[in-house]
A and B are shown apart, each in its own frame.
Chain A
Amino acid sequence: MTFLESFLGALTLNAGYNTAVVSIGAALLGAASGAVGAFVLLRKRSLVSDAMSHATLPGVVIGFLAGVWLLGDGRSLPLLLAGAALTAGIGMISVDWIKANTRLTEDTAIGTVLSTFFALGMVLLTVLQSLATAGQAGLSGFLLGSTSGMLSSEAMTIAIAAGVVALIVLALFKEFALLCFDEDFAGSTGLGVRRLDIALLTLLLAVVVIGLKTVGLVLVIALTIIPPVAARFWTERVSRFVPISAAIGAAGSYAGACLSASAPDLPTGALIVLILFALFVISMLVSPVRGLLSALLRHRRFQKIVHLRQGLLAVAHDEPILEPITRKLLIRRGYVSGDMRPTEAGWSAARRIDRDQALWNLWREEYPDEAHALADWSLKPIDEVLSPDMVADLETRLAPHDAARAAGGAA
């Protein structure tokens, strides 16, 4: 069987029961972390997960030791994850404590916790090695994630846990959305900002811990950060942002897990992260909403409108045109000749724009607040934006002292 066949087989769930469970578990994990990560990004706390994931290491080692002591075997996934959750939780509380009680900022608090907790884990690991217990080699899978050789019971645990997290996010969707956009109002509802924040961070902690085995502790944060950052490019609305982020997370994790099933030597975590990164790059470049290409095109178009209008106003007022872009645009449109002398078409366009600008200015004097709120103010011809009645009214008011001159100029 070629690599491609086996990959396609895995993608279509035809590569055996175990692989199917692992891939579906990964997809659920990706969806849950994409959704949680989306809210965390909106709260501007993305890198808290970095502190959490690194802080799992001492817990994993403690869980292993507990397993040896209680069960005779350290490789009990529930114990390892419980240990991970314990120290990651302590890490999370430490970040908040440092931020609240010292002059140090959050980034410093995160860096402190992630490095010292991980270092403590390294120290404990060397203790473990010197105890020479069996099975500790399995721990290295927690660094980079590995689905090869994952038991279907383990995969099932991951799938169920991720599913539960996803359901909780769904249940608290409205509350979290409020928390991110209207903190004051969220505070006035039953749950309170503080408790909602704790709930969100606890869910983040949950996906980090659940993701350890599949993606590994160094890379698991990618699962909570890359999907929402990619989703940012596709929409401005939170009701879509969160599901898109979840979908990107699910797609990337599923594809990565399937790829890993066909190439068992490659670390699963790295594969998932790189696929997510590819999805991110595609989103950044081509999304019509906020993607790079469309933004660039829109900016160019906008720049053209502004420069053309300013250039024509300068022509109308007989002022020199200083900027090269403006000059080029006017020449290209045939409004001025090569030596910057206005053409007949240029004069008439300039008069039109000048009149339009005068009306816009008059409208702004009358309705400053509306003008301030209107994005198209003085960018589009006024009669395309305001009602004909309004324009007619402005025209008559502009008329008394200028109509004569306008008529003269147009003749």
Chain B
Amino acid sequence: MAKKTGGSFLKEAGRGPALDAKSPFAVSGLTVAYDRKPVLWNAGFAAPEGELTAIVGPNGAGKSTFLKASLGLIPKLSGEVAVFGRPIDEARGDIAYVPQRSSVDWDFPATALDVVTMGLYRRIGWLRWPGRRDKERAREMLALVGMEAFADRQIGQLSGGQQQRVFLARALAQDAKVYLMDEPFAGVDAATERAIVDVLKKLLAEGKTVLVVHHDLETVPVYFSHVLFLNGGTVASGPVTETFTAENLQKTYGGRLAATQLAALHEAAGMKT
């Protein structure tokens, strides 16, 4: 994504390109405040279609808030969101959101299969029960994340990583065009990490657009093609090869990243500092 220049002092101070009608997921001028303290200020971003974008930034930079407020899950003070140029409320079916863990009651009487089937509810429609076809489809999704053996297990009896995979399978079942994931890699075991990577690859192969809030800077150049730097607002965004630079990392993280860390990152990215 090309950055906008113009008569401004800092290019990244602006909103980014305004509501790109072609972008699968475009946010502009997003401001969110808790108790009159802005967590996000004037953030903007247009997701490139068919690409895998990492959203990075320090703790409290407003990464989760960015996703939640764009989806209308928390109130925003200002800002516009468009999905392929349409308002988000008309495009719910195009968007799948995988929240950070632990927001549900794990003791709830539901099996892994039940949870994945929920991803199909919108398609099934009101007043209808999930049929055999739906259950089969949900089972296929579970198989994709290596969880078919646990289909009838109550969700609270799964390990954290397994639960995460079930939620991923639920998102797959939605068959959306845009996937928003909030820290899927946080605290997962190796098997789950592999499953997540496989899912991301599969989504990309199908031409989906994916945004992932990501914590581990070292793996950004490994897994992702694009990056969005957030710190209370958009700092920079673009292809990893151009945008994942020492300058932008410094701007986003300030003094929080030691020089040695930066050097290691750039080595990982195969770039010169």
| A–B contact via C-beta, under 8 angstroms | yes
Q: Is the CB of A317 within 8 A of B4?
A: yes
Residues of A within 8 A of B209 (CB): none
Residue A389, interface by CB 8 Å:
no
A77 CA to B231 CA, complexed, in Å:
65
A313 CA to B8 CA, complexed, in Å:
9
Q: Is the CB of A319 within 8 A of B77?
A: no
Q: Is the CB of B29 within 8 A of A368?
A: no
Q: Mark B173-210, 1 if CB is under 8 A from A, else 0.
A: 00000000000000000000000000000000000000
Minimum C-beta distance from A16 to chain B (A)? 51
Residue A314, interface by CB 8 Å:
yes
Residue A316, interface by CB 8 Å:
yes
- Name B25-49 residues within 8 Å CB distance of A: 28-29, 31, 33, 36-38, 41-42
Given A310-B29, A402-B9, A405-B9, are A368 and B15 neighbors across the interface (CB < 8 Å)?
Answer: no
Residues of A within 8 A of B232 (CB): 364, 371-372, 377
A375 CA to B29 CA, complexed, in Å:
19
- Name B1-39 residues within 8 Å CB distance of A: 4, 6-10, 12-15, 18-19, 28-29, 31, 33, 36-38
Measured CB to CB, the nearest residue on chain A to B247 is: A365
Interface-located stretch among B114-122, B158-166, B215-223, B253-261: B253-261
A405 CA to B7 CA, complexed, in Å:
8
Residues of A within 8 A of B157 (CB): none
Residues of A within 8 A of B255 (CB): 366, 368
Minimum C-beta distance from B207 to chain A (A)? 28
Measured CB to CB, the nearest residue on chain B to A375 is: B37
Given A317-B6, A361-B10, A368-B255, are A323 and B31 neighbors across the interface (CB < 8 Å)?
Answer: no
Given A307-B78, A310-B29, A365-B254, are A377 and B41 neighbors across the interface (CB < 8 Å)?
Answer: yes
Q: Is the CB of B36 within 8 A of A298?
A: yes
Q: How large is the interface on A (under 10, 10 to 19, 20 to 34, 35 or more residues)?
A: 35 or more
Residue A357, interface by CB 8 Å:
yes
Residue B58, interface by CB 8 Å:
yes
Measured CB to CB, the nearest residue on chain A to B30 is: A310
Residue B251, interface by CB 8 Å:
yes
If over half of A's interface residues share one DSSP class (helix, strand or loop), that class is named, otherwise mixed; here it is: helix
Measured CB to CB, the nearest residue on chain B to A370 is: B254
- Name B122-148 residues within 8 Å CB distance of A: none
Which of B8, B33, B79 contacts A317 (CB under 8 A)?
B8
Q: Is the CB of A358 within 8 A of B254?
A: no
- Name A394-411 residues within 8 Å CB distance of B: 398, 402, 405-406, 409
Which of A298, A310, A318, A398 contacts B6 (CB under 8 A)?
A318
Q: Is the CB of A316 within 8 A of B29?
A: no
Q: Is the CB of A316 within 8 A of B78?
A: no
Given A355-B9, A377-B41, A379-B38, are A306 and B78 neighbors across the interface (CB < 8 Å)?
Answer: yes
Q: Is the CB of B78 within 8 A of A325?
A: yes
Minimum C-beta distance from B88 to chain A (A)? 14
Q: Is the CB of A317 within 8 A of B15?
A: yes
Residue A367, interface by CB 8 Å:
yes
A216 CA to B15 CA, complexed, in Å:
60
Residue A149, interface by CB 8 Å:
no
Given A325-B78, A378-B41, are A317 and B29 neighbors across the interface (CB < 8 Å)?
Answer: no
Q: Is the CB of B78 within 8 A of A310?
A: yes
Which of B13, B80, B233, B251 contacts A323 (CB under 8 A)?
B80
A83 CA to B4 CA, complexed, in Å:
77
Residue A190, interface by CB 8 Å:
no
A354 CA to B9 CA, complexed, in Å:
7
Q: Mark B50-66, 1 if CB is under 8 A from A, else 0.
A: 00000000101000000
Measured CB to CB, the nearest residue on chain A to B41 is: A378
Residue B90, interface by CB 8 Å:
no
Q: Is the CB of A306 within 8 A of B38?
A: yes
Interface of B with A (CB < 8 Å)? 4, 6-10, 12-15, 18-19, 28-29, 31, 33, 36-38, 41-42, 58, 60, 77-80, 107, 231-233, 250-251, 253-256
Going nearest first, the 5 A-B pairs with the smallest beta carbon separation are A368-B254, A358-B9, A317-B14, A375-B37, A358-B10
18 more A-B contacts (CB under 8 A) besides A318-B6, A320-B18?
A298-B36, A299-B36, A302-B33, A306-B77, A310-B78, A313-B13, A314-B14, A316-B7, A319-B15, A322-B19, A322-B28, A323-B79, A323-B80, A358-B10, A361-B233, A365-B250, A367-B254, A402-B10
